[in-house]
Structure 1
Amino acid sequence: MTGTLLSIGHGYSAQALADRLLPQGWHVIGTTRSAQKAAAMAARGIESLIWPGTPLPLARATHLLTSVAPRAGDPVLDEIGAELASATHLQWVGYLSTVGVYGDQRGGWVDEQTPPNARSERAVARVAAEEAWQDICDRAGIRLHIFRLAGIYGPGRGPFEKLRSGRAQRIIKPGQYFSRIHYDDIGRALELGITSKLGSCVFNLCDDHPAPPQDVLEHAAHLLGIDPPPETAFEDADLSPMARSFYKDSKRVRNDRIKRELGFELRHPDYKSGLAAILQAEA
């Protein structure tokens, strides 16, 4: 199976899918705001477009993936919502969302049946965007898979970079849990969505073992053979407003549906496996 993927807001997660599709003969059109990123995408075999600024070539696509975060609305739907509502040629739409829509669960478990508990402005906008994409794709009869991604890590992105640069903080907040997903598993899950016959659905995309952030940092330091940074209470941590906001939510995310309905098998079921794979790839 091959086709043309229009990847809007082509970034780290979308590249995980492109890495799998390009060798199979797919044509990938990716958008970015940056001319420098566009050049890097082109070097990887992606037809790159600067957007906003260039019309989105929806008519050329057989499949669409959007990674664009909402603001006062969804920028993609603002531009091509009317066209999308009649885009019956599309075989699949993927929307990359976030487990942040579940809000704070005080360390409890959530699955796709858990009602969104969005409190922050960012999470509220994300819930509204999910609903808007569902509405348009339902009206057009297009398969829509919404992937709620946990914390993303992989080559070039994760605790190793922070430890090596000296920016890492071993932040302690009792009861804090984060779920994660490795770059390779993102690409594999998205490809499964495309190649499946499954109708519209919402999936959590995370590994099997949520963990406190300090545990991940300590293990990464161990793998590098260095001492972890000293413990820092959350209240005293030097964090940007965005980073601090993530600590307001503590939850553990289940991934049973994507395993059951897409037959997804994690290559990296926990952070220990994922971090070891990153170092192995570097070596």
Structure 2
Amino acid sequence: MTRTVLIVGCGDIGRRVARLERAGGHSVEGLARSAETAERLAGQGITPVRGDLDSPASLTGLKGGWITLYYFAPPPADGEVDPRLAALLEALPPRHLPGKVVYLSTSGVYGDCGGDWVGEDRLPHPQTGRSRRRLAAEGALAAWSRRYGVTAVILRVPGIYGPGRLPLQRLRAGVPVVRQEESPYSNRIHADDLAQVCVAAGRRATAEGVYNVSDGHPTNLTDFFYAVADRFGLPRPPAISLEEAQRVLSPAMLSFLAESKRLDNGRMLRELHPRLRYPDLERGLAACSGGDP
């Protein structure tokens, strides 16, 4: 009998997960909010299921019964909660619930940790609206999981890099970075490896609860930009003080500079046993043939 997974949020990571699941012999469905999206998914071997997370009434026809539900959709751009996840959970038929839900969260829920190593037992302290919405979604999923007895896995993910996900445009524009001695620690995971972790979380019967996801080799944020520049033969960006950065860098970049942590990925390695192809930045960048335009 064919076993089916549902992917909600069929972007880059969703498509990578779909390929892995199909290679493993599973049928893959994907939530599609429009006819255009449905056509695109069908062309990628993903069976479209029509529904719009921002229109709860459109979700009432979900048939359920998937072995795994992968939830990769982002929350709205404002507010304190995630009504999209809430709408989906409410629409799932109680008699045909998924066997497991894998939710892609963010390591930003920890907030600034002063460069400390951070395990899953660290109390979250989100400092941005984006991270607060993610933490609220984690709580909503955990409560739903307890209520219905469905296993939930929460993956707290840092920066994702890979082909098409590199700051080449920023480097070509010469946008400055903070001096290395003032630059915060940052963590990352290659997109291919993140997909492997997602599938491992979905397939391993013992996987449950919260996992930090990273390659286990944090560096400071400026090191990352320098490494990408060197790999693609671009000039290293100019370095400025953190004080000057407050005046010239974008609010989005300043939010990254305000948080420093090193993710402990030990639980992920011990319990999920992912086959990381790129366990450090050097090997990950060597496999990247291009970045953003």
What's the offset of the Cα at 1:172? 3.1
Tell me the CA shift for residue 149 of structure 1: 0.5
- 1:170 paired with 2:177, answer yes
8 Å contact kept, 1:9–1:66: yes
Aligned match of 1:10: 10
Letter in 1 for 2:136: A
2:128 pairs, out of 107, 120, 123, with: 120
Q: 1:48-72: per-residue Cα shift (whole Å, max 9, x none)?
A: 4462354262525332111233344
Deviations 1:169-204 (A, max 9, x none): 433361411100101111111111122111522101
Query: Structure 1 residues 167, 141: closer, same or farther in 2, change over 3 A?
Result: farther
**Identical aligned residues as a percent:** 34
Corresponding letter in the other structure for 2:30: G
- CA distance 1:33–1:153, shift in 2 (3 Å): farther
Could you say which residue in structure 1 is the equivalent of 2:153?
Answer: 145
Aligned counterpart in structure 1 of residue 273 of structure 2, from 254, 263, 269: 263
Summarize the Cα distance change of 1:2–1:24 in structure 2 as closer, same or farther, 3 Å threshold: farther
State the aligned residue count. 280
Match of 2:205 among 190, 197, 217: 197
Unpaired segments ≥5 residues, structure 2? none
What is the TM-score when the length of structure 1 is the normalising length? Answer: 0.87
Give the corresponding residue for 2:71: 66
Does the CA contact (< 8 Å) of 1:73 and 1:125 recur in 2? yes
* d(CA) in 2 for partners of 1:178, 1:191: 24
Q: Which deviations, in whole Å up to 9, do the C-alpha atoms of 1:62-113 show, x marking residues without a partner?
A: 3211123334432234323334483554111101101001100111110101
SS in 1 for 2:150: coil
Q: CA contact under 8 A between 2:156 and 2:211: conserved in structure 1?
A: yes
Structure 2 residue aligned with 1:51: 52
Moved more, 230-239 or 131-140: 230-239
Pairwise CA RMSD: 2.7
Does residue 112 of structure 2 align to residue 104 of structure 1?
Answer: yes
Cα pair 1:84 1:136 within 8 Å, conserved: no
- Cα distance, 1:222 vs. partner? 1.6
Aligned CA distance change for structure 1 residues 257 and 215 (closer, same or farther; 3 Å) = same
Alignment of 1:23 onto 2:30? no
Change in 2 beyond 3 A, CA 1:218/1:112: same
CA distance in 1, matches of 2:194, 2:169: 20
